Amino acid sequence: MDEHTPDFDKLAKLANIDPANTDGRLSQYFDAMLRFFDGMDAVGRNAPEDFDVALPMREDTVRAETTREELLCGAKTVADGCITVPLVMEDL
Amino acid sequence: MNRLTSMTVSVLSALLRAKEISSVELTNAFLHRIASHDTEIGAYLTVCAEDALRTAKQIDDRRMGGEVLPALAGIPMALKDNLCTKGIRTTCASKILSSYIPPYNATVYERLRQNGAVLLGKLNMDEFAMGSSTENSAYHLTRNPHDTEYVPGGSSGGSAAAVAANEAAYTLGTDTGGSVRLPASFCGAVGIKPTYGRVSRYGLIAYACSFDQIGVLTKDVRDNALVLQAIAGKDEKDATASLAPVADYGAELGAECCRLRIGVPKEIDLQCHSEEVGQAFQRALFQLEQLGAQLVELPNGIDQNALQAYYILVLAEASCNLARYDGVRYGDRAAHAEDLQSMYAQTRAEGFGDEVKRRILLGTYLLETSQKQRYYDKALCVRQQIKQLFADSFSVCDLIVTPTSPCTAYRFGEKNTDPLQMYHVDRFTVPASLANVPALSVPCGVSAKGLPIGLQLIAPAFREGLLYRIAYAYEQECCHGDI
């Protein structure tokens, strides 16, 4: 298998989604999207190495007080104000 | 009754203050409008008639008691269904959250409540805000009020359609890569995506946290400024909400536009899929010059690789954000799973729609160790380059102008067989999202088929007032506000 060919079984396990239960055109979708993304190469190569991707985060970061009710319902993690930092899946 | 629902917030506010109408009367007018029209339009997922009338009665009682109330008091509005409302179902237009009832309010809703707003209900959207046409809702389609054979845009399609169909005086939507501006353009409304951090995201169900921002959709620019004024500002519950003071947006309306330098990305009109959009854009440029603005060509454009970078980053963030919907913490659980792992997979396979599943799987792939450098890291670099491109552009101009969309609204089903084709509709809106700067869509014309066309104005961070100044002058001069 080519290193850039998606292994859908592995992806399904990582994402907890059965790929058979999608619309059946997953490989065409991946193919089109990855070809589209690869078109980004030209500028990407010239990108600065020390780029800064910091978001406008407040310096005096204050986390919200979580009420017992919210904790019980898990509501804080559905829609709180925090940034979710994407994880590299194999780091898990 | 219908006359009331077609009025702007400013006019309704004046009538309420003068006690020429009551909030109960006004709320009833909107509820009747929804009852008679929404079966065709499909803007609403939930209508809160009893709660709305109860709130309206309370506002009327306070006003009759001599209390001086804020401008938005007693005015009926509606929220996109990814904004949490305590005790009111909040689905994100997904089956997986079909029974989710939040135990708290989003900060934006709390602020509108403090201003006396009357909540009519929750509005349809693309599932988890993933889409540009509102065809991805798990519940029903929303139709464009200008022609019901056409999409209203997305993902805040319900929010734009409700304003255009006079089913709410104003609405809130959310904009990740154009989801307020695009439907505003397709439905002839005014829509703003504020600077990232200008409005608290607390209580907004996350799609892509580094992009998501709550925006306002209204009939005209004055109303838009009024509503943003009410919801903007710091919030201790959102660490990304800015402490920067909120300007007086109303003071910008009617201010001088002479000598403002407006940047026009080179050959951007040639990227339009529709000749009518390109022509409307050229006409708008001429009209802006007539207002005294000076046009400046931006030779490097603003969108180099923006669409690719945007989709890589958004999909990566979405795959993480949506990992929490597993049938344990939230949502309806698959009924007949054999073990925990299959319960997760089955719940998510049954609960998410096709577009959401596609995006989660691709986002997961992009974050795999073997792919991260090739896609995700590079997209972060491109994002930084685009931020620099905007910074460079704003050193030679005060604002940037583009069409909001390369096309007008399209027919249902026309683009959803090829997701990539649908993604290209966002090409003019995603650069401002990548740069986290504010952008506004204001109507600038109508196609031969009667479909609205939008003009996008982009300003430096926290300069929403500048957007309102030029958009108001343009609206007054060119009379597109009543599309």
Rounded-to-integer distance, Cα B172 and Cα B82, Å: 10
Instruction: Provide, rounded to the nearest whole percent, the portion of chain B with pLDDT above 70.
Output: 99
Burial class (CB in 10 A: 0-12, 13-18, 19+), B147: middle
Contact assignment for A89 to B201 by CB distance below 8 Å: no
> What's the confidence (pLDDT) of residue B177?
98
pLDDT tier at A23, thresholds 50, 70, 90: low
On whether any CB of chain B is under 8 Å from the CB of A56, the answer is yes
Instruction: Answer whether residue B481 shows pLDDT above 80.
Output: no
Instruction: Provide, rounded to the nearest whole percent, the portion of chain B with pLDDT above 90.
Output: 81
Rounded-to-integer distance, Cα B2 and Cα B432, Å: 37
Instruction: Answer whether residue A10 shows pLDDT above 90.
Output: no
pLDDT tier at A27, thresholds 50, 70, 90: confident
Rounded-to-integer distance, Cα B71 and Cα B74, Å: 9
pLDDT tier at A6, thresholds 50, 70, 90: confident
Judged by average pLDDT, the poorest of B88-92, B274-278, B328-332, B416-420 is B328-332
> Which tens digit of pLDDT belongs to each residue from B32-41?
999 999 999 9
B422: β partners? none
DSSP element (H, E) containing B130: none
Over chain B, what is the mean pLDDT? 94
pLDDT tier at A4, thresholds 50, 70, 90: low
> What's the confidence (pLDDT) of residue A63?
35
Of all residues in chain A, the one with the smallest CA distance to B353 is: A22
> What's the confidence (pLDDT) of residue A82?
42
On whether any CB of chain B is under 8 Å from the CB of A1, the answer is no
> Which tens digit of pLDDT belongs to each residue from B173-225?
999 999 999 999 999 999 999 999 999 999 999 999 899 999 999 999 999 99
On whether any CB of chain B is under 8 Å from the CB of A22, the answer is yes
Rounded-to-integer distance, Cα B154 and Cα B186, Å: 9
pLDDT tier at B480, thresholds 50, 70, 90: low
> Which tens digit of pLDDT belongs to each residue from A37-50?
998 865 544 444 44
Instruction: Answer whether residue A62 shows pLDDT above 90.
Output: no
B441 is catalytic: no
**Annotated catalytic residue, options B13, B156, B179, B433:** B179
Average pLDDT over every residue of B270-281: 90
Instruction: Answer whether residue B129 shows pLDDT above 50.
Output: yes
Contact assignment for B240 to A56 by CB distance below 8 Å: yes
Instruction: Name the percent of chain B in helix, strand, coil, to the closest 5.
Output: 45, 15, 40
> What's the confidence (pLDDT) of residue A12?
85
On whether any CB of chain A is under 8 Å from the CB of B419, the answer is yes
Give Cβ neighbours of residue B120 (< 8 Å, ≥ 6 apart).
B27, B30, B31, B34, B44, B47, B48, B52, B76, B77, B78, B167, B168
Average pLDDT over every residue of B351-374: 90
> Which tens digit of pLDDT belongs to each residue from B416-458?
888 888 899 999 999 999 999 999 999 999 999 999 999 999 9
pTM for the full model? 0.92
> What's the confidence (pLDDT) of residue B420?
86
Rounded-to-integer distance, Cα B483 and Cα B475, Å: 11
Q: How far apart are the first and last CA of chain B?
A: 20
* 3-state SS, residue B450: coil
Average pLDDT over every residue of B254-260: 89
Instruction: Answer whether residue A64 shows pLDDT above 60.
Output: no
Instruction: Answer whether residue B172 shows pLDDT above 80.
Output: yes
Average pLDDT over every residue of B237-261: 92
pLDDT tier at B479, thresholds 50, 70, 90: low
B453: β partners? B445
Contact assignment for A36 to B308 by CB distance below 8 Å: yes
